[in-house]
Structure formats: structure tokens, C-alpha cells
A and B are shown apart, each in its own frame.
Chain A
């Protein structure tokens, strides 16, 4: 059974330019890596992860690339850890407003 079925919502990956094809005024670190692209769409055929596949994007474009994610989720949030430094700011400013420290 394949990882993804025709019609599944997936993300694909492409190398747009290999390092040696890159142009322009680029810093050394960027020159060493390719220009990569990711886009999502509906899979046009059954496939396994990392297969070369074809998708139809939301605007109807047909795009080919490596299948990297199925039903990709949004992974960011409010950070992995709370930033306790922020607590000090509100406390300090409310203190100044209430008339404590004025310089």
C-alpha cells in the first residue's frame, strides 16, 4: 500500500538552482547550498514518501517534485519555552507609572 493516495493534500520539494547554478551577489554560505522550493497541492497519483510525484496546486498548476509531507501541519506556536524576561517588563513599567521609580 502506498503512503499517499491520489487526491491527498501533500507538500513537495524541488531544487530550483544547484549551488553551481546560483547567481548574483551571494555570501559564501549561501553559494554552497541550492535554492530550494516547497509547495503544496493535491497528489495526482498514488505514491510513497520521497518519490518523484506530480501535484495540482490550489490555482491548478501542475508541479513535479519530491513528496516530503502528507497533510503537512503548522508546526510553530508561541515558542518551545516561555520567555520569563518578558514578565519583568510589565512589572517594572507599571511600577514606574504608579509613581515609584521615576528616573
Chain B
């Protein structure tokens, strides 16, 4: 019998396709309302963090160095009030096999795919995750398909994404490239259905459990190097998995007083599904175009329930400008001798500003770096921006308009801490959760769940529910 592959038919088979492609049934965690059992879902992976470390060691993932950025710290102190200027450390995740922390996420998914007997893995990603899945699949002898949102309607692609295509292909993966648009999901489902491969989703429990080792290692390394836990860990924030996994790992290591802060590049005003805006941004991830929607509506991912739930763990959400990140990327090369990709440096940029407000004895850890090279170097990205009509100049980054200009700070002291409106995001989260569950009243369990999800309390949740006119 011929299978109907029309858009509507495939989308209607979504749940069935996903169940086969994930090897797990998400419905058992549902309450029927808003709440679902997140912790049980995470526990059901069936093994603990030490076993995940073992899985990762098998393929050379993790155990990356924690480096103190002494010159950057000194630079911070030169431009800070006396006594201020926290010590900055970075977890050099570029040392993973495919060059980013994403190997941690891919390693567990690919291990599970192999164990469950799948012949291959599929992932929808334009970034480092594709390379990580391809690399892990190569090591474990599985086929790999990466589905990328890659081009605008002129077939022009960001150099960073094109580099990722090359890397995936060089690691043996098949890369399917698409133009801009959320219907990528349709192509993704069709490929899952056609191949019967495993969905190595960024948002599965396996993916997030794989990142927990990162937070865990940070706590242990800090204790070994400086005798205590870090005061602050900053994470570049897009889909939420990086921050969620790291925070959970810190908690598992007992570092319960360490604050976890998310950072995104501010791309406010650029529509992420716009054909024209697609090549007018210089960051393909770690930006507000992913960070905000995934914080306020984590379950709009490619699994029924995302294991990445950033709002649960995020104490603060800082925004940085494109020009600032390029500037700090250059600073990391020039002052620390570490040439690393811009995406991981998003959190370093915020840390640079944050350190100026913190005492000298405080410790900030930037939890990742990523590899760089042709395509994903500031030279490539800034040159591409100029070619696409974006002005690159020195000035005050506060005046940067995404898609119009990139303003490199005239002086490092112009790199500032800018807070996103967390309460607004929490309210938006609650509203989205209600819409997603299609309910007009909530029960006690839902309120408890929403308080946990938004890192608030019953009082806050109830006041938002009142505002929304939702009955209890």
C-alpha cells in the first residue's frame, strides 16, 4: 500500500512516527492537564550520571579542561571599581571530538539508538549538534542524516551553517538542506518514517542527561582548582538544553548554591522564519530568536515533551549584542591565545560585564567553548554581514539594530549587563502552557507544576492565572 506523504497526512501521523523514532512513550508521564512528571521522565533513562560518563568516555567525550582566563580577568579589573573583577574560568568544550559540548548530547542518544537496534539516527539542526551526531554515529557505526535549515530563496547560506554541512558530510553523514521555514519538521518526519531511524532529538531525555556531566565536571574541577564551587555559571541559551543539563549536573554534584545564568544574543526585531532576515543575522544560534520562545514554550520542540526546561533553572537571563560577542571573541584570541567560535563566546561576553560588578574573590565559569575555522570565524561572519548590507562599525553597542548594523564597542567598558524581563517570560510561559493543554481550569497539581516550571511559587502562579481568567 502506498503511504500518503502529503503535508497533512504526514503531520497527522506525527505522534505515531515520533513514538517509533524515539523508542519511548511520552504519554505515560502526562497528567491529562498542564502538569507532567518531568523528574520521572528524566529518571526513566534508566541509568545514572556515572554510567553516562562511562558512555561518554567510550567515545572520547567530556573531561575537558577548565581554564582560568587570567588576562581577561585582569582586563576586567583594569576597567572596574577597586575590589571588583571576579575571576573568569572557561570550560574548554571545543576539546570534545567534534568541537563542542554538543558531543555530550549526541553521545547518549546515539548510544541508545545503537542499543535499541536502530540502523541510523536523524537530527534536525543547522549547528554544532549535527557534527556531534555525525561524529558519534561514525564511532558507533550507525548511519546518520542531518536535516538543516540552510538557505534563503536565493540559495545563499550563512557561512557558519555551510561549514556545518561540510563537517557533517566529512564525518560521513547525509545532509538534507532546506530553505527557511518551520515546515522543516514535515521533511524531518518524512525522513524518520522512510528510514525508520532514531530521532536523535536535541530535546530528548537522553540529550539533556548527556549535558548533566558538564555541570558535574565544572563543580568537581572548581573544587579541585580553587577549593569551592563557582559562584556563577553562565550558559549560552538557545533551545534550553545547554542550561538545563548544566544546571542539573551542578545540582547532582551538590553545587546547590551556584547561580546559573542564561545568555542570548539580542536579535529582537528579526523574524526567525523570514526569508529576507535569514541572512541578516550574524548568529545562527544562542540568540533570542530561539532563547525566548524555548524559555516560554519549551514543548514546541521535536519531541512531545522537551527535557530542556530552562526557566526551571535560570536565575537570570542576560542579553548581549552581536558586536560585543565578536569583540570578546577577538579578545579571547588576542589575550588568552584561544581561538574559539563566537556562539560559545556569547556567555563569555556576559561574564565579562558581570565580573565587573562582582568582588575579586568571586568565581564565574563560562560553561562552553566551540571550535572555530573557515565559515564560523568572525572574519567570515562579519564579511558576510557586510556583503548582505549590514553596517559594521565601532560605537556604543546599545545602539545596535539587529539586521541593520553590528556595533563593535569603542571601549571594553561599553559591554554591559542587560537583563531580560524574567517575570514577563514567566507569565508568557504560563499562558503558553494553558494554550498548549487547551484547558480553562487548572488543578492543584498544575499550579504546583507551573510554580516549579517558572521557578516561582503558588502565589505568583495564582496571580497570573487570575490575570488570564483561568479558574482553579
Q: Identify B330's interface contact among A26, A32, A81, A89, CB under 8 A.
A: A89
Interface residues of A, CB < 8 Å — how many?
49
Give the distance in Å from the alpha carbon of A92 to the alpha carbon of B408 in the complex.
12
Neighbour of A102 across the interface among B78, B187, B275, B381, CB < 8 A? B78
Q: When the two chains form their complex, are residues A16 and B387 in contact, meaning their CB atoms are under 8 A apart? A: no
Beta-carbon contacts under 8 Å, A55-77 to B: 57-61, 74-77
Count class of interface residues, chain B = 35 or more
Query: Provided the pairs A59-B145, A79-B383, A93-B331 are in contact, do residues A37 and B178 lie with their beta carbons within 8 angstroms?
Result: yes
Closest to B274 in A: A27
Residue of B7, B78, B162, B374 ringed by the most chain A CB atoms within 10 A: B78
Residues of chain A within 8 A of B144, CB atoms compared: 59
Q: How many A-B residue pairs have CB under 8 A?
A: 167
CA distance A30 to B120 in the complex (A): 32
Asked if A1 is an interface residue, CB under 8 A from chain B, the answer is: no
Known: A29-B276, A76-B374, A86-B379. A93 touches B412 (CB 8 A): yes
Give the contacting residue for A93; candidates B75, B157, B380; CB below 8 A.
B75
Inter-chain contact B330/A86, CB cutoff 8 Å: yes
Known: A58-B172, A76-B374, A82-B379. A36 touches B179 (CB 8 A): yes
Is the Cβ of B276 less than 8 Å from the Cβ of A90?
A: no
Task: Let me know if B176 and A37 touch, CB within 8 A.
Answer: yes
Do A35 and B178 touch (CB < 8 A)?
A: yes
Given contacts A17-B186, A61-B195, A80-B383, 12 further A-B contacts (CB under 8 A): A23-B7, A25-B273, A27-B277, A59-B174, A61-B174, A75-B162, A83-B382, A83-B386, A86-B379, A89-B330, A97-B71, A101-B411
Spell out A's residues near B (CB within 8 Å): 16-17, 21-27, 29-30, 32-41, 57-61, 74-83, 85-86, 88-90, 92-94, 96-97, 101-103
22 residue pairs A–B, Cβ–Cβ below 8 Å = A25-B273, A32-B275, A35-B179, A36-B179, A37-B179, A37-B187, A38-B177, A39-B176, A57-B174, A59-B144, A74-B162, A79-B382, A81-B383, A83-B382, A83-B386, A85-B393, A89-B330, A89-B408, A90-B333, A90-B335, A97-B71, A102-B79
